[in-house]
Structure 1
């Protein structure tokens, strides 16, 4: 959408909003399009495309037909946009409801629905329904989506396009290409699942996103109709939880304290049975499908320098991801399906690491971002939010307005210049939008009936309603049914778009250990220092530290405590599930450090001695550039991405590469890349020496 088309669509919208009886196509062609050269057919196609664009932004163009009185008086077709049917209804929220709603919107900050959540909040602010609220002290929950596949699937679900992807079948362990009509996407048992119609099998299927072995291809030339009243949470609730199984793993002496904490020595006669089978229906959503005899397999002698442990688990793929990151320090003895899953990750990572290296070149003009889709459409959508925002926030400084919309001053001024050139067709100067910012304070004097925000889009309704659902059970929320009441108000305001939000269901963000979280919250509020006993996986040791707690935040149900660590003399992030003990030490916090401004908290705090690493990401791993706050990115011809990322320690990067199994590799510095390849080769050699066929 070019700038001229943006202005034309804006003028078309204003014309259709400000006509009571409607405008004929000939009037629109002459007064709005100023079209005198194209054919009637060409103009008709352009007009239909523009109506589709307005519909995309939430404005339905009504067609009004007047029947003629005879052959001398033919029927007349006119077009208009109803002023009420397209507008967001008034939403009145209490301060407590505003608090909950802002938390729900912030959940998606780094996810695919982050921009939609921000747009929805702006609409509520523009309508006067959302007031400033005080958030719970130091608590900032977030949802972490399942990489690029999540974004592609959300887009396909809302546009009702089929998708295609390679998938590791749970029942057979074979990789297959699936073509699916995506009905919904949700989280269950700590995993994201796609629910949809598998065309090859002509039936509903559940697909776990962690089993996707390729990027998602959206078949945007095709469409489908999902089942009526589809609710993904209800569908996922019917899935049985996988049973607890036990893996037999050889672990290097004295290593992997975190794994040892939940394991026990393997005795060979623990009575757990010989089968690693699934439960009825498990294969439909990714049970590992193995039936290897664990007792018989574990009869092989324990490796020298290793201890044989029995590790409980439910999901083979989740455990395989963890075990791959341990490299040669852990080797799966049984079951064979888990052995194969770890080996597959290591082999994919090693193959990618050994592939020819592309030229490492970044754009010279500052940090490069991954290309965004529909940027001109984003501009028009932003301008439609800007007018009602200015109506309700007269006199704000232009820099503050730009900051509210996350754009530069120049981008904002470009928007304003288009707006002040837009208005009623063939109108007088008073029929144009009148916005002034001569003294750097922005005022709007004529809004041409754009003062009320348009109704929620599907993405916006999904972002808020799914976020509210995820907050259920979060400690510190206002009591008295606040979560339920704000959900009902938003459902009423969203209308049909709110019903479509049932296609998405996020994880609940409440922590497993609410006691540790509450101790940290109380210390943050009181300004009290804490004594921390912490299991550090990088050091593979338990350390004692005194910390100044700053704030709490989460990725799904995994919670982190950001604090100033007096031992490290800097800000650090501690996972709550790795905290062995936490208690006040009787001292107040120092003034040495304060948390970084803004939301969200970063998992990584930059320092002068950081390792600056260049990685290559596949389409599957593209989301890691955002997750790890890449400073520079560049697109490669094959669709991969170069990313320059700061890491506090380079020692764990081989683990990082192995964990993502072929989605990322280290390119620079060369020494680190070579060390990572050697680490992967050594880990893979452990599995090559003990292939799965010997385990059965």
Structure 2
């Protein structure tokens, strides 16, 4: 959409909103389009495209026909937009409901739904319904981290009702297969994200785990489907049984991989009987299984419980040559496949390493004219209800630069009714750097929620059910009902998405940390560091708690390293008050979301190549620069520059993502990763 088309659509919208009886196509052609030269057919196509665009922004164009005449006669057909049918209904919220809603809007981490949630909150703020006295739970910030680009593509296809295709590793056969499906719903269960879809090849509904996708998702834009009425992703996923508990036999180098040893159900000394992938009995005990050999000198044999070979395979691949899977064979295949893919990716030709001078640190979608028009439609009601804000504050609220905001305002003040008289134009002033609007032309109320906006807020509210601070009251339920009523049909379609419950796994550690945050007291902890493969004892000033799905973190000032650090609660062995008051050294990281990693200037700058599937790692690790890679006119991933405090764990990072990432620079780090992974692969026959 060009800038001129953006302005034309805005003028068309204002004209259709401000007519009681409707405007004929000839009037619109003369006063809005100024297009007397084109044929009736080409103008008709342009007008239909514009009507469809307005519908996508939430405005339904009504057709009014003169009595006794047919709607196929342009001379007797008029068009208008109802002022009430397209607007977001008033939503009156209590401070407690605002608290729940703010937490729900902040859940989505680095995803398209995160932008949709912010957009929905701006609409509510534009109505003046968000309470300024809402208080968030002390030190608690839950979040949902969707699983990469596949999630984004599937959500877009699901909401636009387009089929998709992808390659999938079948759990029953262990083979990769091409799938063509109609995506009906997405949801999280058992710590994994699943797609519920109709498989066209098999003619039946199927569940697909996103971690088993072995290719990028292709959206079939020219095809469409209709999902079943009343479909609920959560209800369908409730029917999905959890995978049975199984047992893996792995050999581990002596004194290494402490994290895996914690998970081991049983340790074996050399010469003892082995467990050959046997499942526990009803009492949860493991019986002796047939012999499968004994570990070599310098190795220990462990029995590790697991449910999903792909999940455990990813972890075991990250341990490289320090772990070898003995049984079962499908787990060996899972690890071998990742190591083989990493070696193969490293052997491909190195692309030119070039970064544009103005590369943003985050991989964001390029802003389009559609984004600009949507932003302007939110901007007018926002300014009406927030008169006199400083222009920089307005720009910050909308996530744009001051120049971008001023470009929006200049288009707005030139837009209005067809006659173009002063009173017929939007009147916005910002000469003194404070923005005022005195003429809004009935754009003073936000348009109703889009499907993405409704999904982001309603799914977020549903995910908060497991948070103790909110589950005790009725605010969560009441604000959900209010938003469902306000969202209307889009709220019903939001049932196609079901997020994970963000309940904490270790409630004792969580409560200990919360009490210390509120009382400003220090804590002493014993912590397992997977990167160093060792335990350490530290004294910390706890600052806040947050989560990614069901994984909870404690952000704290660590006195050992004299800086901010993030500790996973499930890696804390012991946590207790040390009797001292917290110091003034540390403050919680500003803004939201909090960073899991804090890059420093003296860290090693590493250049990596990411496939399209793994491109989200650039955001996860706060890449300083990125550059898109294009092959055959298609997206082929990213180049990214990322700072790492230690390069020792880079081989594990590469192996874990099995063919999704490789190190390009520094050369010695790339060579070390290659040698480490090849050594690991040699344990499986090369």
The alignment's TM-score, normalised by the length of structure 1, stands at 0.94
2:327 maps to which residue?
334
Unaligned runs of 5+ residues in structure 1 are 278-292, 690-696
Q: C-alpha distance in 1, partners of 2:670/2:180?
A: 36
Question: Structure 1 residues 326, 294: closer, same or farther in 2, change over 3 A?
Answer: farther
The answer to whether the Cα contact below 8 Å between 1:327 and 1:658 also exists between their aligned partners in 2 is: yes
Question: Structure 1 residues 577, 50: closer, same or farther in 2, change over 3 A?
Answer: same
2:302 maps to which residue?
309
2:5 maps to which residue?
5
**1:177-196 equivalence runs, <5 A:** 177-196=178-197
The match for 1:642 among 617, 639, 644 is 639
1:685 maps to which residue?
682
Q: C-alpha distance in 1, partners of 2:353/2:189?
A: 40
Aligned Cα root-mean-square deviation (Å):
1.9
Q: How far did residue 606 of structure 1 move?
A: 2.1
Is 2:344 aligned against 1:351? yes
Query: Which structure 1 residue ranges, 4+ long, deviate > 6 Å from structure 2?
Result: 267-274
Q: C-alpha distance in 1, partners of 2:33/2:220?
A: 33
The answer to whether the Cα contact below 8 Å between 1:276 and 1:335 also exists between their aligned partners in 2 is: no
Q: How far did residue 476 of structure 1 move?
A: 2.2
The answer to whether the Cα contact below 8 Å between 1:68 and 1:74 also exists between their aligned partners in 2 is: no
Question: Structure 1 residues 102, 202: closer, same or farther in 2, change over 3 A?
Answer: same
Is 2:355 aligned against 1:400? no
Question: Tell me, what secondary structure is at the counterpart of 2:470?
Answer: coil
**1:289-328 equivalence runs, <5 A:** 295-296=289-290, 299-328=292-321
1:245 maps to which residue?
246
The match for 2:458 among 459, 465, 479 is 465
2:80 maps to which residue?
80
The match for 1:652 among 649, 652, 657 is 649
Describe the superposition over 1:605-633 as per-residue Cα deviations: whole angstroms up to 9, x where unpaired.
12232121111000110111111111100
Question: Structure 1 residues 418, 69: closer, same or farther in 2, change over 3 A?
Answer: closer
1:364 maps to which residue?
357
Q: How far did residue 350 of structure 1 move?
A: 1.3
1:288 maps to which residue?
none
The answer to whether the Cα contact below 8 Å between 1:343 and 1:687 also exists between their aligned partners in 2 is: yes
2:602 maps to which residue?
609
Q: How far did residue 110 of structure 1 move?
A: 1.3
Q: C-alpha distance in 2, partners of 1:24/1:209?
A: 50
Q: C-alpha distance in 1, partners of 2:303/2:496?
A: 39
1:694 maps to which residue?
none
The answer to whether the Cα contact below 8 Å between 1:524 and 1:550 also exists between their aligned partners in 2 is: yes
Q: C-alpha distance in 2, partners of 1:8/1:163?
A: 34
**1:226-237 equivalence runs, <5 A:** 226-237=227-238
**1:404-415 equivalence runs, <5 A:** 404-415=397-408
Q: How far did residue 275 of structure 1 move?
A: 5.7
The answer to whether the Cα contact below 8 Å between 1:152 and 1:218 also exists between their aligned partners in 2 is: yes
Of 390-399 and 563-572, more deviation after overlay is shown by 563-572
1:420 maps to which residue?
413
1:676 maps to which residue?
673
The answer to whether the Cα contact below 8 Å between 1:68 and 1:76 also exists between their aligned partners in 2 is: no
Question: Structure 1 residues 364, 272: closer, same or farther in 2, change over 3 A?
Answer: closer
Q: How far did residue 46 of structure 1 move?
A: 0.7
**1:216-615 equivalence runs, <5 A:** 216-263=217-264, 264-266=266-268, 295-296=289-290, 299-367=292-360, 370=363, 372=365, 375-477=368-470, 479-615=472-608
Of 27-36 and 354-363, more deviation after overlay is shown by 354-363
Describe the superposition over 1:388-431 as per-residue Cα deviations: whole angstroms up to 9, x where unpaired.
00000000010110011111110000000000000001131111
Describe the superposition over 1:144-185 as per-residue Cα deviations: whole angstroms up to 9, x where unpaired.
101100000000000000001000011110001111110000
Question: Tell me, what secondary structure is at the counterpart of 1:181?
Answer: strand
The answer to whether the Cα contact below 8 Å between 2:188 and 2:500 also exists between their aligned partners in 1 is: yes
Question: Tell me, what secondary structure is at the counterpart of 2:685?
Answer: helix
Question: Structure 1 residues 425, 294: closer, same or farther in 2, change over 3 A?
Answer: farther
Q: How far did residue 124 of structure 1 move?
A: 0.4
Question: Structure 1 residues 596, 480: closer, same or farther in 2, change over 3 A?
Answer: closer
Q: C-alpha distance in 2, partners of 1:58/1:675?
A: 54
2:284 maps to which residue?
none
Question: Structure 1 residues 680, 271: closer, same or farther in 2, change over 3 A?
Answer: closer
Describe the superposition over 1:374-395 as per-residue Cα deviations: whole angstroms up to 9, x where unpaired.
6211110000000000000000
Describe the superposition over 1:127-148 as per-residue Cα deviations: whole angstroms up to 9, x where unpaired.
1111222211111111010110
Q: C-alpha distance in 2, partners of 1:374/1:45?
A: 26
**1:150-229 equivalence runs, <5 A:** 150-229=151-230
Q: C-alpha distance in 2, partners of 1:221/1:543?
A: 57
Q: C-alpha distance in 1, partners of 2:244/2:506?
A: 22
1:692 maps to which residue?
none
Describe the superposition over 1:314-350 as per-residue Cα deviations: whole angstroms up to 9, x where unpaired.
1111100100000011110000000100100111011
Q: C-alpha distance in 2, partners of 1:445/1:178?
A: 55
How many residues are treated as equivalent by the alignment? Answer: 671
Of 384-393 and 75-84, more deviation after overlay is shown by 75-84
Q: C-alpha distance in 2, partners of 1:17/1:591?
A: 56
Describe the superposition over 1:425-445 as per-residue Cα deviations: whole angstroms up to 9, x where unpaired.
113111100000011100000
The answer to whether the Cα contact below 8 Å between 2:276 and 2:328 also exists between their aligned partners in 1 is: no
Question: Tell me, what secondary structure is at the counterpart of 2:33?
Answer: coil
Q: C-alpha distance in 2, partners of 1:220/1:370?
A: 24
1:24 maps to which residue?
24
Unaligned runs of 5+ residues in structure 2 are 281-286
The alignment's TM-score, normalised by the length of structure 2, stands at 0.95
The answer to whether the Cα contact below 8 Å between 1:66 and 1:75 also exists between their aligned partners in 2 is: no
